Amino acid sequence: MAKKNQGGSGLMSSAGLMRYYDADKKAIHLDPKAIVVFGVICGVVVLLLSANFGTWP
């Protein structure tokens, strides 16, 4: 039977995870509440503009 390679397999897999999380720390992070508020404001603006220009359903 072939010998099992007992060296380094755990280190290699954890090294990939460390690189992933390090890259994630450099990304731009936005608060989910800010995204929801921005969406609601955009929706209200669209409704007001459609009412103003006579395209209200």
Q: How far apart are CA 24 and CA 35, in angstroms?
A: 19
What pLDDT, in 10s, does the model give residues 38-47? 999 999 999 9
Calculate the alpha carbon distances from 13 to 3, 9, 31 in Å.
20, 7, 31
What pLDDT, in 10s, does the model give residues 1-49? 556 555 544 455 555 555 555 566 677 889 999 999 999 999 999 999 9
CB 51 within 8 A of CB 45: no
Tell me the residue type at 47.
Answer: L
Report yes or no on whether pTM surpasses 0.75: no
56: CB partners within 8 A, 6+ apart:
50
